[in-house]
Amino acid sequence: MPKSVYVFDAYGTLFDVNAAAREAATEPAHAALAEHWPQVAANWRTKQLEYTWLRAVAGHHCDFWQVTQDGLDWALEAAGLHDPATRARLLDLYWELTAYAEVPAVLATLKARGAKTAILSNGSPAMLEAAVKSAKIADMLDALLSVETVGVFKPHASVYDLVGAHFGCAKADVLFVSSNGWDAAGAAGYGFTTAWVNRAGAPIDRLYAKPTHVLPDLTTIPEVA
């Protein structure tokens, strides 16, 4: 039976986190990035996530924009790139990341069915508002739920609590969708039915819970029960 509430992670799930580095690398002003952009993008994302986990464990919360900048600084230094203009361009592009091609159709299908849709993200409210506006999907989402409400990053249970608090729904009513295996596991352990969008074909994380479904992309989300 289809769920009544569909909740999506944002970065890497709806929005392509590699898009900023990929686009900047094509611009003549940032030619030095052309050779290094795949590794810069990978390191940027890895450090961005690592810093959220470390801050959550240590109790030193900051907003996601800060860890996004910190992760980029590490990635650029690791690649030997020190141009402030390239850093600034990458950060500007992060506010307008490309949505994956199937995203609008999937959200439109869910909305036509009468389902509620939302983002639940580490991203700050300002970042999420900019992203959905740039991708032209704001009218397909009923809520943008940010960890800033509770002051700790995923996978803390208080973050997943935001869904029930906003929609007044039971855990069984929710399908939670993430491209991050650890996030899908965290949501599964919390009690949501989960779909891990495993675009890279990676192994399942060895954690305390496993995703209910494993999918190659978002296309079949409306068919998942």
Per-residue pLDDT 10s for the chain (225 aa) are 789 999 999 999 999 999 999 999 999 999 999 999 999 999 999 999 999 999 999 999 999 999 999 999 999 999 999 999 999 999 999 999 999 999 999 999 999 999 999 999 999 999 999 999 999 999 999 999 999 999 999 999 999 999 999 999 999 999 999 999 999 999 999 999 999 999 999 999 999 999 999 999 999 999 997
Nearest by Cα to 122 from 196, 182, 197: 182
The C-alpha atoms of residue 142 and residue 149 are separated, in whole angstroms, by 17
Give all domains of the chain, ordered by start, each with its CATH number: 5-15+98-223 (3.40.50.1000), 19-94 (1.10.150.240)
- CB half-sphere exposure, 184, CA atoms < 13 A: 22
pLDDT recorded at residue 225: 75
pLDDT recorded at residue 160: 98
Stated as kind and residue range, the H or E segment containing 110 is: helix 103-113
The C-alpha atoms of residue 204 and residue 61 are separated, in whole angstroms, by 28
Nearest by Cα to 114 from 142, 153, 73, 155: 142
Which residue in 9, 16, 173, 183 is the catalytic one? 9
The C-alpha atoms of residue 67 and residue 96 are separated, in whole angstroms, by 17
The C-alpha atoms of residue 129 and residue 174 are separated, in whole angstroms, by 22
142 is catalytic: no
Residues 6+ apart with CB under 8 A from 166: 118, 143, 145
* Residues belonging to the chain: 225
The C-alpha atoms of residue 145 and residue 149 are separated, in whole angstroms, by 8
pLDDT recorded at residue 25: 98
The model's pTM is: 0.97
pLDDT recorded at residue 104: 98
